Structure 1
Amino acid sequence: MPLVELFLAAFAMAQERNYISICGKTKTSIKWTEEHKSSNTNLSISLNNGIYSISGKFNGKQISKKVKSKGKPWYQNIAYNAGLTLKNSKFVEYECFRPDNMKLYTMSAAKKGTEKLDGKNAVRIEVSLSGFMSAFWSCDYYFDTSSLMFVGYKGVNGGPGTPETKISDAR
């Protein structure tokens, strides 16, 4: 993969999981790796010609499988690119893998306008599962109105009774 094709390589740590997401010029994911030591997971997913290749170790077991894309863009971590992706549109459907089960899901992201987050104007984008499943879960990502870079998140990351998670840029 030529370096010129790379748009973004990002590293994130959440819940003891280490992720590296590599995106192409169109801001879509082209490769994603995850390491989660406590679950003995260390795997890589790449997309080539509409087929995802998953390899490595997942929950202590070797994994090597192929999954057909559903034809939507792949945004493994929508926080990296939703602001720019929705700059000139209001809605996008995309696909991503859920890290705890490695299943491919179709998601939707919808621009909901501008509102205050910690006293600053931010573009709010609601993310949910697509179709009838959207009634069961959603969260909000917030992006700077000028740069369209990620500045915040609000959502519940667990079952009923789980408190809301809020992330915001401290600057």
Structure 2
Amino acid sequence: MRVVIVLLWCLAVAGMVCGGALAQAGETTSRLYRDRTGKSEVFFCWQISAPDPETRRIVSRKANATYRNICRPNGRTLRWEVAKPGVTGKAWVDGATLRLRGAVDGEAVAWQRPVAEAGWFQPLSFALRGVARGEETTKRLVTLRPDTLEPMSIRATRKGVEQVVIEGQAVEAVRVQIRLTGWLRMLWHGDYWFRTGDWVFVRYEGVNGPPGTPKTEIVLIEEDIGNARCLDRIGKQEESRLDTAGP
């Protein structure tokens, strides 16, 4: 059961740290999110840019972790990098193959697998916007666990339009629920809300642990924030950009 709990927490983290409206070519957007579990609170800063019409670069940071993504506008991931205590890794699509190299707690991890028909979608709060818009009411996809660097399968389902309160303001948003596939689907779920109209990710909610664990809530707290100010809020220096080249 402990393995399942850790997996669920990592699934939530993998999806929460990236999200937001689709940037136009040449634009860069930064937003600040608050992650609160019980009395514990941290902030996520992320930036999305469009180097060209067919590419989205998403960099998400908190004080001790950085996640970098290169995606298509529909959310399909081409390349992903993670750097945090105990884990470093990079994964990339090479033709019909998904390759990964990295290390977990000092142990090397390397594998290659066919790209699943469902597709590889690493930043869930970016990739799930299509489900929120109703392009698909349910979607099965593959994402990578940031703690073990192993792939896992999840299913996302559109639940409809709701009113949610974000920093004291009522917002109309579409809720998308994610669950693991197979027998694990009954053990846990997480919910993402996307603001109608611009489809910005505004909220996540889930209990990422055993019974009695406080609820985790992620909320958008500041928009149109400059990257330097965003990084300053989380106490992190600006870092180099993710390259689109191979390993």
Partner in structure 2 of residue 83 of structure 1: 129
49-58 vs 146-155, which moves further: 49-58
The letter for the 1-side match of 2:139 is: V
Bigger proportion of residues as strand: 1
2-side partners of 1:51 and 1:153: how far apart?
Answer: 31
Contact map agreement 1:28 1:75 (CA 8 A) in 2 = yes
* Alpha-carbon contact 1:11-1:19 (below 8 Å) kept: yes
Tell me how far apart the structure 2 counterparts of residues 22 and 130 of structure 1 sit (CA, whole Å).
25
Contact 2:140 2:154 in 1 (8 A): yes
Superimposed CA distance per residue, residues 33-64 of structure 1 (whole angstroms, 9 cap, x where no aligned partner): 0001x21x221001223321111322212222
Q: CA deviation at 1:8?
A: 1.4
Equivalent in the alignment of 2:25: none
Given the two structures, how large is their TM-score scaled by the length of structure 2?
0.62
Gaps of 5+ in 2: 1-50, 223-247
Match of residue 154, structure 2, among 103, 107, 119? 107
In structure 2, distance between residues paired with 1:26 and 1:146: 17
Map of 1:93 onto structure 2: 140
Shift of 1:96: 0.6
d(CA) in 2 for partners of 1:170, 1:112: 24
State the Cα distance separating 1:6 from its structure 2 match.
Answer: 4.4
140-149 or 23-32, larger mean C-alpha shift: 23-32
Normalization by structure 1: what TM-score? 0.87
Q: Is the 8 A contact 1:72 1:95 kept in 2?
A: yes
Name the residue aligned to 1:143.
194
Match in the other structure for 2:48: none
How many angstroms does 1:14 deviate by?
4.8
Give % identity: 23
**How many residues get paired?**
167
Aligned counterpart, 1:167: 218
Question: SS in structure 1 opposite 2:130?
Answer: helix
Deviations 1:115-165 (A, max 9, x none): 111121110000111233210111000101101121110012233432111
Q: Which has the higher contact order (CA 8 A, sep 6+)?
A: 2
Deviations 1:89-119 (A, max 9, x none): 2111000111112221111110000111112
Structure 1 residue identity aligned to 2:174: V
| Regions of 4+ moved over 3 Å | 3-6
Q: CA RMSD in A?
A: 2.0
Judge conservation of contact 1:50–1:71 (CA < 8 Å) in 2.
Answer: no
Matched, 1:74 2:157: no
